[in-house]
Structure 1
Amino acid sequence: MPHTQILDNALGAIGGTPLIRLDKIAKKEGLKCNLLGKVEFFSAGGSVKDRIAKRMVEEAEREGTLIPGQSVVIEPTSGNTGIGLALACAIKGYSVIITLPAKMSLEKEATLKALGAEVVRTPTEAAWDSPESHIGVAQTLQKAIPHAIILDQYRNVNNPLAHEYTTGPEIIDAIVSTPSTPSRPSSGKVDVFIAGAGTGGTVTGVSRALKRKHNPNCVVVAGDPQGSILAEPSSLNEQEAGQAYIVEGIGYDFIPDVLSREPGTVDHWIKTSDEDAFAAARLLIKQEGLLVGGSSGSALVAALAWLKTEEGWKGFGSVEGANVVVLLPDGIRNYMSKEWFLETTRAAPTPLAHKINAILKDSKSSKQE
């Protein structure tokens, strides 16, 4: 919820992120539904992963497995969970070690170190169950360091629970509390929810909140990058199996325990490409003013692709008042040096740029005469 009182510390600024209309993109794509972005970079640590980091730490403290002044937190991560944990542990006084695949951005490493975490890079190509992987290295360190604990976002039930108890209800509250008007019609409920899948905790937890407590007919769609194996049926993954992908924070070469395979949790899977994801992220930045990262682009690609299927278009995309929510997991802060973002700065000069140059050139010539 919006923060209207003084907070005790930055942990109180986790969550409470806005639901924002993506009207320009919806119009461009010919959609009649309400296309809405749940914008997670407004959270204290800059991503949706702040939520699970906070809950995993606080629940571990309640259970007595994290001991102030003694425990060392270790976590294998693609970066954002690590940043959330480093933020929480900086406030609470725990030492932190983050194991991070080499492909993850320099900005993530810099942010982690600024928060006081130790960072260990691991080979991107290492299989998840290899001793050299970010998971394997974390396990090696945990065995060797006294009082070390891996909170383990891949298995920790507090990962999906954080989203079932916070992200999902926030989306519901925003939809329900926004009245339907002639100019802004609304069904009054969440009709479709789309998110990229990494650990799968987000899509699992939000799905449970929406379907069990709000709208059992809500359609949940998950995006999975080409080269990952999370999508179902598994035949969706065969064409690009093992292919390397650049987008960060989503997709895996194993199925995390927190990703529910229970029928009805995820209704549809959409495979996404790096090229499309980065183009969509740039579109969100330029058209909607939302400074998002590549995985947000992947989620938007999955949403638009599904809305253009027969089921998606007839049931929702072409329906005024249908509410389609896309989770945008993090911001551009972590990717400023990435080639896909730098391409934005190399765009051909605009007519306005030519006009500016002409004015300045004429002004310079006038002063020299």
Structure 2
Amino acid sequence: MPDLPTARPRIAALPAYSRAAGAGSVRWRASSNESTVPPSPAVVQAVARVGAQAHLYPTLAGDDLVEAIATRLGTSPDQVVVGGGSLAVLQLALTAYTGPGTEVVHAWRSYEAYPILIGIADAQPVPVPLDGEFRHDVEAMLAAVTERTSAVLVCDPNNPTGTTLPPQRLGELVAGVPSNVLVLLDQAYCEFDEQDPLDVAALVAEHPNVVVFRTFSKAYGLAGLRAGYAVGSAEVVAPVRNSAPPFGLSAAAEAAALAAWADAAHTAEIVATVTASREAFRGGLAERGLHTPDARGNFVWLPVGERATELERLCVRHGVSVRAFAGEGVRVTVGDPDAEAAVLAAVEDLLG
């Protein structure tokens, strides 16, 4: 066989994104933090309309969606970037501001895509263990910042543990990062957090080195269409936008996001479904002797340690997929009482 092209060593060594066991064969999926409520009827209608014009390009940079987001959040359009999911926009930010010889500080365990994205940018990940309550350890993260640090990545609510920092502690973390270091605040699950919502416009005005990332995949029910956005100071956001390819957000995704953004009642229905299921599920786990950390996303973290993969197998046997992190715990998406009942039955099997 002839020699073939070889990838950059850093790319060849990237970790693979995990797959949930049994996801294609089970009755219920509680492994990917998808909404259990279908999207708004307005979304379905908007996608159908755009489908009839699929021969035309979308707006160059998601222009209509940028305008709608800026209007609601009280920022200017040049402070907003949209793309194919918040993860895609986060990749743009890492591309613009990190690279060889730089480090990105992030909590761990946190979102498993972070080391992949940081590696693609050819930066060095610096994982900082969570504290005893499965939250970001503010002091440890600040202590990990060095002259090589180009960014600090904060996931709040944290995936997969579901925990948040109290507003004061989050403020201490942001304020403690040097102004020449980027703070990437990933808030993919913020709509499910019952604390007072973060004033994004005020935060980035006070701390221009902060960029906030949010998604339409979770509380807006658009996981299959891929739309997300970032908000920051205009000066910091400009290189992020310049890193994006033209027409990076499909016409279908933009139309769907605009329709979902406008249908506040449907978003509230998705959030209410999640918060009610989340507390009932945590109560059921506690009754069975399994206590879980405070959950603020659309999922619950089961800290079963070395028995994580065993619990995952038992869940599949009961007809539901979950996401196991070997040696640490299991993440369960909430919103479907039948799926949660299947997980509770598996927990009973596990704990005897």
Structure 1-normalised TM-score? 0.34
Structure 2-normalised TM-score? 0.35
Q: Looking at CA atoms only, which structure, 1 or 2, has the larger radius of gyration? A: 1
Higher relative contact order, structure no. (Cα contacts within 8 Å, ≥ 6 residues apart): 2
